[in-house]
Chains A and B, each alone.
Chain A
Amino acid sequence: QVQLQESGPGLVKPSETLSLTCIVSGYSITTGYYWGWIRQPPGKGLEWIGSIYHSGGTYLNPSLKSRVTMSVDTSKNQFSLKLTSVTDADTAVYYCVRDEPNDAFDVWGQGTMVTASS
């Protein structure tokens, strides 16, 4: 059974960089699929941040592209997100997901709340 688990600080100061990691278990990320990040501000809807292939190829939400870096560590079977210059608007629950070929997110992590505050 594929499982995803997000990890990272729950509090980030404005103007600093948000860093999250997603550990994948029950499936090797080098087997296939894209792996992605989705966020949800409190009381609001879902926003796709971007997705990465195990080879490192990415496709990113154009509204966040200038601030987002995604990477994969195949030796640890995990992938990561960095979001620079955070503001209050980046406060959200961040989910890591498996992005399957039909453009569907079929496996989700439990989500981690990140608050941008001084």
Chain B
Amino acid sequence: SSELTQDPAVSVALGQTVRITCQGDSLRNYYTSWYQQKPGQAPVLVIYGRNNRPSGIPDRFSDSRSGNTVFLTITGAQAEDEADYYCNSRDSTGDHLLFGGGTKLTVL
């Protein structure tokens, strides 16, 4: 499959830990990056490569993987983490990039 599948919506209580999943066969072989997008704003890269965070991204964001699934984990979610999250990787051919459908995270 050349698709990346994400749950449409996830919620978490303030201060708790949440995992957002991205599933796809190609994820076994290629890096995954994660983006946070708040309403009316451009996406922001939060994780790339092997669990790397760009400068300025809090260390409560991390990723891990198991088989064909990659997990974005937010440890101690804050109100400002409420946003849409997208995963990105290569397709099964390795020649093209694609995004997951996105997950809307609500912080309760």
Q: Measuring CB to CB, which residues of chain A are less than 8 angstroms from any residue of chain B?
A: 45-48, 51, 59-62, 95, 99-100, 102-106, 108-111
Q: In the bound complex, do residue A45 and residue B98 qualify as a contact, i.e. CB atoms below 8 Å apart?
A: no
In the bound complex, what is the Cα–Cα distance between A8 and B28 (angstroms)? 39
Proximity string of chain B (11-30) to chain A, C-beta cutoff 8 Å, 1 when within and 0 when not: 00000000000000000001
Q: In the bound complex, do residue B44 and residue A108 qualify as a contact, i.e. CB atoms below 8 Å apart?
A: yes
Max count, chain A CB within 10 A of own CB: residue among B30, B42, B88: B42
Q: Measuring CB to CB, which residues of chain B are less than 8 angstroms from any residue of chain A?
A: 30-31, 33, 35, 37, 42-45, 48-49, 52, 54, 86, 88-90, 95-102
Instruction: Name the B residues within 8 Å of A95 (CB-CB).
Output: 42-43
Q: In the bound complex, do residue B96 and residue A105 qualify as a contact, i.e. CB atoms below 8 Å apart?
A: no
21 A-B residue pairs with Cβ-Cβ distance under 8 Å, sorted by A, are A45-B86, A45-B100, A46-B99, A48-B88, A48-B96, A48-B98, A48-B99, A51-B97, A60-B96, A61-B97, A62-B96, A99-B97, A100-B48, A102-B48, A103-B30, A103-B33, A103-B90, A104-B31, A105-B33, A105-B88, A108-B44
